[in-house]
């Protein structure tokens, strides 16, 4: 028998009980073979070993991998068309509204030549237009490349040159702000994303032209150790991440409900 004294401000009761059981496990291991080396002593119980080595590593998820981001989004639109999808300050869009405007933008982008793995730059501040632009590019089949409007001109120029993009979505006031920069660049098209004339076409979903292994977006690194580098992310990567996060959220929520 042994007693344990501990500060309740530092440890929970169940933590100390677990540590006590570990100590008992160590005594059992040593008593069964006095020649045992320290690194051979197993202090965890069979249940703990199974949890750590098997259950925690069982990260395989069942999900439909052969889907693009826009397909998953359109499925949600069908389920909850009138639910609010995006909010920024006083503006908000339902799933149906966001989908309709993204479809109109996507048709314009396809007319400009956007196809699978075409990289489209997007220079916008936080706004509902940011989400419209992202979904519009994906629906067109392209991959979006976000460029922070607050980046120094040299960094913007490098990203434009390195990524070889020639189509850009931008808010009108940012075009005016960076007029000199845009004049330097040899861009094929610059679409003013907050111009209502952009949203006058067909609102129906477009046919899917890309696949799950195609590019979804590119993110450039900070460049603190040299020139920034573009990291290419595919649709299936995003699908995998979202499904994993959703699984964890549901699991944690169910655990909380069981506790309550």
Long-range contacts: 69-72, Cβ < 8 Å, 24+? Answer: 69/138, 69/216, 69/235, 69/238, 69/239, 70/135, 70/138, 70/139, 70/208, 71/208, 72/239, 72/242
Query: Which range among 50-54, 69-73, 145-149, 254-258 shows the weakest confidence by mean pLDDT?
Result: 254-258
Q: Does 131 have pLDDT greater than 90? A: yes
Using one digit for the tens of pLDDT, what is the confidence trace for 53-76? 776 666 555 556 678 999 999 999
The pLDDT confidence band at residue 182, using thresholds 50, 70 and 90, is confident
pLDDT at 188 over 80: yes
pLDDT reported for residue 146: 95
**Would you give the distance in Å from CA 41 to the centre of its chain?**
42
What are the Cα distances from residue 113, in Å, to 46, 106, 118, 141, 213? 60, 11, 9, 10, 20
**β-strand pairing of 215-220 with 230-234:** antiparallel
Q: Give residues with Cβ within 8 angstroms of 15, minimum separation 6.
A: none
Q: In the structure, what pLDDT confidence band is assigned to residue 16 with cuts at 50, 70 and 90?
A: very high
Q: What is the pLDDT of residue 64?
A: 65
Give the Cα separation of 256 and 260 in Å (integer). 6
Q: pLDDT at position 36, please?
A: 87
pLDDT tens-digit map of 68-97: 999 999 999 999 999 999 999 999 999 999
């Amino acid at each position: 028998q042994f007693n344990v004294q501990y500060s309740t401000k530092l440890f929970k009761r169940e933590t100390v009980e677990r540590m006590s059981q570990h100590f008992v496990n160590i005594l059992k291991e040593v008593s069964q073979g006095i020649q045992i080396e320290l690194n051979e002593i197993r202090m965890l119980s069979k249940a703990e070993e199974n949890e750590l080595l098997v259950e925690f590593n069982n990260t395989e998820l069942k999900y439909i991998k052969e889907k693009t981001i826009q397909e998953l989004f359109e499925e949600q639109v069908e389920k909850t068309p009138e639910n609010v999808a995006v909010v920024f300050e006083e503006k908000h869009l339902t799933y149906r509204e966001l989908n309709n405007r993204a479809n109109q933008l996507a048709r314009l982008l396809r007319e400009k030549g956007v196809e699978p793995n075409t990289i489209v730059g997007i220079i916008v501040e936080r706004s509902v237009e940011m989400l419209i632009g992202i979904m519009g590019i994906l629906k067109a089949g392209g991959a979006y490349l976000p460029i922070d409007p607050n980046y120094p001109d040299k960094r913007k120029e490098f990203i434009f040159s390195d990524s070889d993009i020639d189509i850009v979505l931008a808010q009108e006031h940012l075009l005016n702000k960076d007029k000199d920069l845009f004049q330097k660049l040899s861009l094929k098209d610059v679409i003013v994303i907050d111009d209502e004339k952009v949203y006058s076409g067909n609102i129906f979903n477009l046919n899917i032209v890309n696949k799950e292994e195609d590019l979804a977006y590119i993110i450039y690194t900070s460049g603190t150790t040299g020139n920034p580098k573009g990291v290419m992310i595919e649709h299936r990567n995003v699908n995998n991440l979202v499904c994993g996060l959703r699984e964890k959220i549901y699991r944690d929520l169910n655990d909380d409900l069981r506790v309550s």
